[in-house]
Structure 1
Amino acid sequence: MEGPQDTETGRNDAVAPAPAELSRALDAVGAGAYVVDERGCIIAVNAQAELMLGRSTEELVGHDAHELLHRGPHGQTLPHSQCAMRQAFHEGRSAQGAGEYFALPDGSVLPISWLITPYAFDGEGGRTLVIFHAQEPAQEPGPLPEAPTATLTELERLALLAEATAQLTSTLDTDEMLRRLIRLVVPRLADWVIVDLITERDEVWRDVVAHAEGAAIKRHEDLEGPMPPVLEESQWPLSRALRGVASTVTGPERYHRTPDSGIAVEQRHLFDRTGMHSAAIAPIRGTREVLGALTLGRAENPVGYTSADLPLVEDIARRAGLALDNARLYQRQRKVAETMQNHLLPQLPRVPGLEMTARYLPAPDASQVGGDWYDAFPLSDGATALAIGDVVGHDLEAASGMAQVRNMLRAYAWSQNEPPSRIVAWLDEAMEHITDVRMATMIFARIEALDDGTWRLSWTNAGHPPPLLIGRDGVARFLEDGHGVALGTGLRAPRPDAQAVLEPGSTLVLYTDGLVEEYGKVIDVGLDRLRRHAAAFVHRPLSVLADQVLRRVRPDDNDDDVALLALRTPV
């Protein structure tokens, strides 16, 4: 069950390092905290735990937590069978206790109270979170009293906040962040959760109304949608929260009075429809402004909220605000990147008899415009040039280099009536001296109609994935000929040319490697996936084929931009 260990330190070298985001999330916990993997080995620890245990992260990570830390009251080794924490870990359940001991480096022990709970981070399960407090040695651990209210214990509150930090801030998708927020608070803190957000146009939109129905969560889309504007003079709870004035505990009795605004009318309708008897409302604040309001409500749970619950609701809303701020910044950057890239990429020419379409998808990182590009333009001899390429990099420098390479290629191709290999050889040499592009791959081709109704394709390939040709009968093959070295290598080996005849109704697909490369797999897997899906849609309109290829072939873990150029000859 255990991986290889360092015989001197007892450290398990097979333990995978934790993501940096997980370690940062633990630092938000106001107590000692560490996370173990499915074997019980520590993979992340916060600064408070290092201080309390007198050990550094390097001295903790990789060790079996039980073997390293758990002891009896006199420092003796504690068998697994006597460790309640270990039992809960193996059963995959939450538990808490007190009157146990952790070993310190000097041989003494630290009395602790603890909470342990299964912990999913960034969609990955199999981990367990342990939070612990130091106890006074004289304290006698006793059974935890039955709480007459629904208030969380301090350890449960800290665990929830740590989970909220990790879950909410580890995604840049607003919808996914809201789904995670719902799962965090329902039904743990509330029967109902409502999220009202202020759009970038200062409009209020009720984005979430969700309710716990047993183990399931149900969205009530009929209660979601646009809301009336926030009035500065309104002193009712939701209006105050949306202005960032205050958090409030309220109930339906407040909203059955004469309303002072349209939002108050909507809130009365909400209480009537949901049956909530108590609600806690807190502002969702970003770094510069109020972004909305979080409402937690209780209907089935008979315990009403009190002012003592507001700090926890505010803490969760604050984390949601940070996540929402990041997501909105991401979306703005992504929009700018897409707009810039679309302006850099050309409009396709109208070529009699040829149908053409192109697609571009940016890399997942919003701020990264990329070096992938496509082009098609008329040549001086009446043929049409086709190009697909990938300049190394995912930044403004790569996008700038892409524009330089594309423009130089156009100039050479228009002015020199030469085979594709000669044009690309000149481009490779010029690129080394008058651009900052270090390396690039590309296919440069020319296509022209023949008298018999077919089309001749001539091309050279500079280190790029091969074109895909699909016949009208659905038979698909990659054009492997004409392959040479990438641009920017410094090699001056002769570049080959290749030719193929495109029969009527043929479809040609040029693409960049982001479409077919998948982490941990050989590229042949992606190429075969492309061949099968493109052939399946060869009888559909060319635009449909392009969209379906991108949707079905591009790997889910793709971190690269993708360019695609497809054409079809007339039947």
Structure 2
Amino acid sequence: MAGADGDPGRAAEPVAADVFDGLEAAAYLVDERGVIARVTARAEVLFGRSAAELIGQDAHALLHRDSRGRTMPRAQCAMMHAFLGRHVEYSDRGWFERADGALLELWWLVVPCSFERAEKGALVIFRESSPVEAARGAGTASAGAALAGALTELDRLALLAETTTRLTSTLDVEEALSRLVELLMPRLADWVVIDLLGETGDVRRAAVVHYDHGVLVHRRDLEGMLPPVPEESPMPLSRALRGAASALAGPDTYSVEPDSGITVEQQRLFKATGMHSAAIAPIRTVREVLGALTLGRSGQPAAFTPADLSLLEDITRRAGLALDNARLYQRQQRVAETMQRHLLPHLPTVPGLLMAARYLPAPHASQVGGDWYDAFPFTDGTTALVIGDVGGHDLDAAAGMAQLRNMLRAFAWSQEGPLSHVVQRLDDAVEHIVEASTATLVLSCVEKRAEDGWRLRWTNAGHLPPLLVEQDGRARFLTAGGGIMLGTRAALPRADAETVLPPGSTLLLYTDGLIESRSHSLDDGLARLLAEATAQAGQPLDTFCTEILQRVRPEDNDDDVAVLALRIPDSEDAGHAEDAVAPEAPVAP
């Protein structure tokens, strides 16, 4: 995993020759083209090459490889991007080739700098493990020292780069908190406490974690809701939660008569954890305070000093940015999910039929999209079933889908004649729907006839064919009734088709997200759907839909999925179907 640090200007300072020569790490300086200009003795040993063999060589071409030992394309190289973009870049895993051909797996850090008459370039530092991981492996002996003394400037920069990278690479609040805890212990403390402010001003002690002999132990008994933040309290945590500067604290700090409920909780925290020293800093953004971070020491003998607070503030500043982004993303998800639930219809109750539906959003998009299903009754007792797909899986696609669905309902209710005429009228109107320039759909109608039972009529506008699965497991795609998609403006006729729906059979309408994959063809996806539907033919309808989604949807799917299923109960289940109520279709969180 690689990422850019948020403060490149601070790192882009001149590197004096004596400072570089004094580095005890494996490192080299490169110019802005990536050509090696200076190299440390440890780098010579690490790569098995002398300074004369390294200086003047293109570092990327000479050393950098992928995990299989092949030369990495420059366009895919994060290190080259850092050279050219002049920003801090870090990775905890990279591969480099020694002179003897051996492949080294190394941690690396790129820091922009200038050297030799202000020539622009970068300092590249290598280690066989990251400073944070090395500290964990070393136990708590070295971690007992004060931060300012235990961390070199390079260690500090590496820690901040890793903090930025790991926290900003997730949009889940709880995952971000977990990563923050892992980054800080045991290198900086043996206790981490995180208090978060809610959107309404409530305070939650989200994490109290102890590093105990190599294991992170969560103290759930000390977590939970805290009393409100007092407006006047001078105590360190109360001030931090109001956005004041960071501060040091200890048991003596909270040995006074408590001035608020939070002070009482802090007294309980210090007593339960045995912390003799703590550093507390606000977690904030430019707009608001999100909470507070407390680093504490109980087993480590050294106390925190004022010099440690600047590093803590650097960390909380990055944590604030990551948490703010995660909160904003989750807030947008909640809004989008609510919107999607309102856009998707409730399935009607139709005597003698069973229906079920599912919708899954695209994995890497908003919780809304252009796939939809619909089911609604006509006044003559027949029932319309629709599955459709407007291109895209974002808010524009959702808006186009809603317009298209509502227009289709209106045309279907008012238009007499074959279903293909309804779809053709809708096609004529699509060009006026800005958000839905192209779309596919299947419009079908199921009705019960006295002479031969349930029948299905349908027309297909460029969509994947419906699947009919009979009770004995025989299955076939309904490929008749096909026509071109909506929005092409091609004056081609549309077809209608009709078939009998046997007792116990299941009709499955679905969108392409169920079967499409970058790793196999569309025919392979249809074959997989056919096989799984045959295997699940005897399952209850809700179970049938769930199993189809779990077993057929490809792992590399990047599209949303809509599924609508209809079952014709056999004679034994007909009585139950008369009273069946269609459940609301689940929307995945």
TM class by shorter-chain length?
Answer: 0.7 to 0.9
User: d(CA) in 2 for partners of 1:238 and 1:533?
Assistant: 57
Deviations along 1:379-427, one digit per CA (max 9) or x if unpaired, are: 2432111101111133443333222222222223223343333322332
Tell which deviates more after alignment, 420-429 or 377-386.
420-429
Partners of 1:355 and 1:567 within 8 A in 2? yes
Look up the match of 1:80.
47
Partners of 2:90 and 2:161 within 8 A in 1? no
* Cα distance, 1:313 vs structure 2: 1.3
User: d(CA) in 1 for partners of 2:469 and 2:234?
Assistant: 67
Deviations along 1:10-42, one digit per CA (max 9) or x if unpaired, are: xxxxxxxxx9xx564375473259xxxxxxxxx
For residue 513 of structure 2, what is the amino acid of its counterpart? Answer: G
Tell which deviates more after alignment, 309-318 or 509-518.
509-518
Look up the match of 2:517.
518
Look up the match of 2:497.
498
1:534 to 1:156, Cα distance in 2 relative to 1, 3 A: farther
Look up the match of 1:260.
259
* Cα distance, 1:204 vs structure 2: 0.7
* Cα distance, 1:368 vs structure 2: 6.8
Look up the match of 1:292.
291
Tell which deviates more after alignment, 522-531 or 274-283.
522-531
User: d(CA) in 2 for partners of 1:215 and 1:536?
Assistant: 48
Deviations along 1:325-375, one digit per CA (max 9) or x if unpaired, are: 112222222222222333333232221122223333444566574222211
Partners of 1:404 and 1:435 within 8 A in 2? no
Q: Is 1:30 matched up with 2:7?
A: no
Tell which deviates more after alignment, 412-421 or 358-367.
358-367
Summarize the alignment of residues 38-53 of structure 1 with structure 2, pairs less than 5 Å apart.
53=30
Look up the match of 1:314.
313
User: d(CA) in 2 for partners of 1:534 and 1:568?
Assistant: 13
Tell which deviates more after alignment, 303-312 or 556-565.
556-565
Q: Is 1:339 matched up with 2:318?
A: no
1:528 to 1:198, Cα distance in 2 relative to 1, 3 A: farther
Partners of 1:330 and 1:367 within 8 A in 2? no
User: d(CA) in 1 for partners of 2:414 and 2:159?
Assistant: 67
Summarize the alignment of residues 458-497 of structure 1 with structure 2, pairs less than 5 Å apart.
458-473=457-472, 477-497=476-496
Q: Is 1:130 matched up with 2:109?
A: yes
- The list of structure 1 runs, each at least 4 consecutive aligned residues, that deviate by more than 6 angstroms after superposition, is 83-86, 114-117, 133-137
Look up the match of 2:408.
409
Partners of 1:115 and 1:156 within 8 A in 2? no
1:533 to 1:307, Cα distance in 2 relative to 1, 3 A: farther
Q: Is 1:69 matched up with 2:36?
A: yes
For residue 108 of structure 2, what is the amino acid of its counterpart? Answer: L
For residue 379 of structure 1, what is the amino acid of its counterpart? Answer: F
* Cα distance, 1:164 vs structure 2: 1.4
User: d(CA) in 1 for partners of 2:538 and 2:267?
Assistant: 55
For residue 167 of structure 2, what is the amino acid of its counterpart? Answer: L
* Cα distance, 1:508 vs structure 2: 2.7
Look up the match of 1:183.
182
Q: Which has the higher contact order (CA 8 A, sep 6+)?
A: 2
SS at match of 2:412: helix
Tell which deviates more after alignment, 473-482 or 202-211.
473-482
Unaligned 5+ runs, structure 1: 1-18, 34-48, 61-67, 93-113, 121-125, 138-145
SS at match of 2:494: coil
User: d(CA) in 1 for partners of 2:516 and 2:395?
Assistant: 23
Look up the match of 1:246.
245
Identity of counterpart residues, as a percentage?
56
1:398 to 1:453, Cα distance in 2 relative to 1, 3 A: same
Alignment length (residue pairs) = 488
Summarize the alignment of residues 24-423 of structure 1 with structure 2, pairs less than 5 Å apart.
24-25=4-5, 28=8, 30-31=10-11, 53-55=30-32, 59-60=33-34, 68-69=35-36, 71=38, 80-82=47-49, 118-119=92-93, 128-131=107-110, 149-150=146-147, 151-364=150-363, 369-423=368-422
Partners of 2:285 and 2:317 within 8 A in 1? yes
Partners of 1:334 and 1:365 within 8 A in 2? no
User: d(CA) in 1 for partners of 2:338 and 2:38?
Assistant: 60
The two structures, once aligned, show a CA RMSD in angstroms of 3.9
SS at match of 1:570: coil
Deviations along 1:137-159, one digit per CA (max 9) or x if unpaired, are: 9xxxxxxxx99545311111111
Look up the match of 1:508.
507
Partners of 1:509 and 1:564 within 8 A in 2? yes
User: d(CA) in 2 for partners of 1:442 and 1:240?
Assistant: 59
User: d(CA) in 2 for partners of 1:73 and 1:129?
Assistant: 15
- The two structures have a TM-score, normalised by structure 1, of 0.74
* Cα distance, 1:442 vs structure 2: 0.9
- The two structures have a TM-score, normalised by structure 2, of 0.72
User: d(CA) in 2 for partners of 1:276 and 1:233?
Assistant: 25
1:274 to 1:434, Cα distance in 2 relative to 1, 3 A: closer
1:289 to 1:479, Cα distance in 2 relative to 1, 3 A: same
